[in-house]
Amino acid sequence: MQKEEIFKIVEKQNKWRSECLNLIASENITSPEHDKVYVSDFMHRYAEGLPFKRYYQGAIYIDELESKAVELAKDVFHAKYVDLRPISGAMANMAVFSALGDYGSVLLSPGVLGGSHISHEKFGVAGILGLKTEHAIFDKKEYNIDTDATIKKIREVKPKIVVLGGSVILFPHPVSEFRKVCDEVGAKLIYDAAHVLGLIGGRKFQDPLKEGAEIISSSTHKTFPGPQGGIILSNSDEKTFKKIQSKIFPGLISNHHLHRIPSMMIAALEIKEFGEDYATQTIKNAKALGRAMYEYGFDVLCPDKDFTESHQILVDVRKNGGGKKVASTLEKANIILNKNILAFDDVNNSDDPSGLRIGVQEMTRYGMKESEMKYIAELMKKIVMDGKNPESVREEVIEFRKKFQKIHYCF
């Protein structure tokens, strides 16, 4: 292997994805101002501990930045406490769950069929920590948690941790409705905002902390357009937050990848300044894509609820050959999205599930609006419904993407 080969592969990736319709719901693109701060001397350094209380010398400027970053995040998300050190969303969950649960105690979440991330499950972080997992009752028609039935279940199974939010989230979850029952059984109410953090910051989705969640754990690179990383926000008591912080360090992370911090600050400033417009257009685009695909005959979920109130839509593609086949066919046309398990699937069939999950947050950041969503639906229809060769549609995708290279909702 020669070094030229490395450069070439990276170049190929950059070119390819700039010619694609990127519709993965868990990704986003950072702005040019990020690039100015992301590759810096910070990426070589350690700063164990908290700002101004480090175990390493040389932390003068990360102290200054990280303390300001914490204040900025408090301001954007209306949180009393913030920790930016988790290096990913799963790590943030690990810190929170390990602080609030004991081996054998119960964590209740919607479960992967209800949209939970794997880290909420027995085969992910929750299982690694020895937590017993229980699932909320999920209303497949409403595509949301059945509030009353789940409140009953919470009374029965008495969890120590209740996790709302998730990787598939079309509609707001019943946060305020669950707060009372969580207090009653002594459970902590957590909201995993990895997907919707940018919509929350833009004030266009539910505000979990305001509605009664004690803690938000999240990643920072989906609808929140930051670098890949994690964050924990809280309005709970100081003792609980300090316990979580002790799990982050010295528990889980000694080097918190310092170069993420200024880059996350740029994203937070962008959300503060442009977040409302960005979130509004993202949700409009998701609805528009759902509607256009539905009109072309796709089985988009929840047509009677205008498809979604977030950045995502779900499509049942069983009649089109299943999630695996459709997602890989579309990839040949440079339309990038992922197969996804739907609520009525067999949980063990994640390799070839019924659905597609489509997110519009990245293409919205490239300036696309409702009319572009209609065109994307048309491109997908040509391939999936009309059986057109995806390689021939790829040329149309590349031509179309050429017009959307500039990143919007940034300085």
Ligand X SMILES: Cc1ncc(COP(=O)(O)O)c(C=O)c1O
Question: How large is the C-alpha radius of gyration of the chain?
Answer: 21
Q: What mask, x for binding ligand X by CB under 6 A, covers residues 93 to 122?
A: x-----------------------x-x---
What is residue 107's three-state secondary structure?
Answer: strand
Q: Least CB distance from residue 200 to ligand X, whole Å?
A: 13
Among 22, 26, 282, 354, interactor with ligand X by CB under 6 A:
26
Given a contact cutoff of 8 angstroms between Cβ atoms, the answer to whether 270 and 31 are in contact is yes
Q: Applying CB under 6 A, which part among 162-170, 271-279, 298-306, 329-337 lies near ligand X? A: 162-170
Q: Which residue is nearest to ligand X (CB)?
A: 89
Q: Least CB distance from residue 125 to ligand X, whole Å?
A: 9
In 199-240 the beta strands, taken as DSSP E runs, fall at 215-219, 230-234
Asked whether the CA dihedral 236, 237, 241, 243 is positive or negative, the reply is negative
Q: Tell me whether residue 89 or residue 202 sits nearer to ligand X (CB atom).
A: 89
Among 47, 76, 90, 232, interactor with ligand X by CB under 6 A:
90
Q: Least CB distance from residue 90 to ligand X, whole Å?
A: 3
Q: Tell me whether residue 271 or residue 292 sits nearer to ligand X (CB atom).
A: 271
Q: Least CB distance from residue 382 to ligand X, whole Å?
A: 30
Among 22, 98, 133, 167, interactor with ligand X by CB under 6 A:
167
| CA dist list (Å): 163 to 17, 41, 169, 219 | 34, 37, 13, 15
Report the DSSP beta bridge partners of residue 84: none
Q: Applying CB under 6 A, which part among 60-68, 99-107, 160-168, 295-303 lies near ligand X? A: 160-168
Under the criterion CB under 6 A, does residue 195 sit at the interface with ligand X? yes
Q: Applying CB under 6 A, which part among 5-13, 155-163, 191-199, 399-407 lies near ligand X? A: 191-199
User: Closest Cα to residue 290, out of 171, 117, 137, 118?
Assistant: 171
- Residues binding ligand X: number (CB under 6 A): 15
Tokens standing for residue 306: 């205008």
The Cα 158–Cα 261 span in angstroms is: 38
User: Closest Cα to residue 168, out of 41, 311, 296, 42?
Assistant: 311
Q: Least CB distance from residue 129 to ligand X, whole Å?
A: 15
What is residue 166's three-state secondary structure?
Answer: coil
Given a contact cutoff of 8 angstroms between Cβ atoms, the answer to whether 389 and 330 are in contact is no
The Cα 265–Cα 31 span in angstroms is: 12
User: Closest Cα to residue 260, out of 38, 20, 11, 22?
Assistant: 38
Under the criterion CB under 6 A, does residue 312 sit at the interface with ligand X? no
Q: Tell me whether residue 194 or residue 267 sits nearer to ligand X (CB atom).
A: 194
Q: What mask, x for binding ligand X by CB under 6 A, covers residues 324 to 363?
A: ----------------------------------------
Q: Least CB distance from residue 124 to ligand X, whole Å?
A: 9
The Cα 258–Cα 280 span in angstroms is: 31
Given a contact cutoff of 8 angstroms between Cβ atoms, the answer to whether 363 and 372 are in contact is yes
Under the criterion CB under 6 A, does residue 146 sit at the interface with ligand X? no
The Cα 225–Cα 409 span in angstroms is: 10
Under the criterion CB under 6 A, does residue 89 sit at the interface with ligand X? yes
Tokens standing for residue 137: 């009752």
Q: What mask, x for binding ligand X by CB under 6 A, covers residues 265 to 304?
A: ----------------------------------------
Q: Least CB distance from residue 102 to ligand X, whole Å?
A: 22
Q: Applying CB under 6 A, which part among 10-18, 42-50, 82-90, 372-380 lies near ligand X? A: 82-90
Report the DSSP beta bridge partners of residue 336: 22
Among 219, 310, 312, 329, interactor with ligand X by CB under 6 A:
219
Q: Least CB distance from residue 175 to ligand X, whole Å?
A: 15
Tokens standing for residue 166: 């998730």
Among 69, 194, 266, 315, interactor with ligand X by CB under 6 A:
194
Report the DSSP beta bridge partners of residue 109: 135
User: Closest Cα to residue 91, out of 128, 116, 59, 55?
Assistant: 128
Interface positions with ligand X (CB under 6 A): 26, 88-90, 93, 117, 119, 165-167, 192, 194-195, 219, 230
